[in-house]
Amino acid sequence: MPGPFALDGRVALVSGSSRGLGLAMARGLGRAGAHVVLNGRDPATLGARQRELAAEGLSASIAAFDVTDGPAAIAAVAAVARHHGRLDILINNAGIPMRAPLTEYDDERWRAVIDANLTACFRLAREAAKPMVARRWGRIVNIASIMALVARPTVHGYVAAKGGLVALTRSLAVELAPHGVTCNAIAPGYFVTELTQPLHDQPDFDAMVRARTPMGRWGAAEELAGPAVFLASDAASYVTGHTLTVDGGTVAAF
Ligand SMILES: NC(=O)c1ccc[n+]([C@@H]2O[C@H](COP(=O)([O-])OP(=O)(O)OC[C@H]3O[C@@H](n4cnc5c(N)ncnc54)[C@H](OP(=O)(O)O)[C@@H]3O)[C@@H](O)[C@H]2O)c1
């Protein structure tokens, strides 16, 4: 892919890319020319995804680790940077929701959601920033949610974590800007993935999403690839600290 959107020669780590939005973004980065490092907790699944991407002519490898396991995440980022001699792009995508009414939302749930959606992203960004700063070029893209900007009942930890991730995006951006590293967030609306399939399958919920979304439909995972490639590329060289909403217009509507 010639021009400012090209990622030829770049190495990208995409957390949580064994399926769903992470896999779609990894495929998009690969099609733009990057070598993508797939991540998830199951090496066998990652191996299968790697072979699929290779069959499409894309360059991919795998790094199986749990993003909430601090020592494993730190070692994995260092190993990618050592093996490739660089790490140019980090997509902080792995995340989990947990639903419970407020009075039943116990500390264990809260901690698990904050760990996976916020603390793990901070840690991966901190570690990825080391090789990026050393080479004076880097792109960190945090996958937040429209739940960082608006809220629904029962997802308290998720709303707080994603809101924190948008705030963290700004603090990383201002510190890393002088080093040639940008940090932006994407706030997806409702996309059909394994995560949201149970919601999509509820007629009332599906109708609510369609009614609240000016485009009248859920997003398809492939529709996150373009925004991710843009923020990871030289086309976004003067964009940092920004949160890009990709939601069919949901939060624009009253
Ligand atoms: N789908 C939506 O509508 C939507 C909307 C807004 C925001 N988002 C955000 O987008 C991101 C991806 O969502 P999705 O819908 O694609 O979810 P998904 O289908 O459940 O996929 C999640 C991915 O993350 C991996 N993962 C989960 N926990 C992990 C951990 N602790 N360590 C490493 N990998 C882990 C999973 O692989 P393994 O299970 O094999 O480890 C899988 O590859 C999440 O941060 C989510 O909050 C999604």
Which residues does 176 contact at the CB level (< 8 Å), separation at least 6? 129, 132, 133, 138, 140, 182, 183, 240
The residue whose CB lies within 8 Å of the most ligand 1 atoms, and thus the one to mutate among 93, 117, 194, 199, is 93
CATH number at residue 171: 3.40.50.720
Rounded mean pLDDT of 56-85? 98
Dump pLDDT digits (tens) for 109-164.
999 999 999 999 999 999 999 999 999 999 999 999 999 999 999 999 999 999 99
- 158 included as an active-site residue: yes
| Structure tokens that stand for 55 in this block | 């069959």
Closest residue CA from atom 2 of ligand 1: 191
Q: Give the residue among 92, 72, 68 at the shortest CA–CA distance from 13.
A: 92
Q: Is 254's pLDDT higher than 90?
A: no
Tell me, yes or no, whether 174 lies in a domain: yes
Domain presence at residue 199: no
Residue 2 has pLDDT above 70, yes or no: no
Residue position matching structure tokens 């690969």: 30
Instruction: Name the nearest CA neighbour of 207 among 197, 215, 217.
Output: 217
| 214 falls within a domain | no
Interval between CA 178 and ligand 1 midpoint (Å): 31
Q: Which atom of ligand 1 is nearest to the CA of 194?
A: 19
The domain of 35 spans 11-192+221-244
Q: Which atom of ligand 1 is nearest to the CA of 95?
A: 45
In the predicted structure, residue 1 carries a pLDDT above the cut 70: no
181 contacts: CB under 8 Å, gap ≥ 6: 129, 132, 133, 137, 138, 139, 140
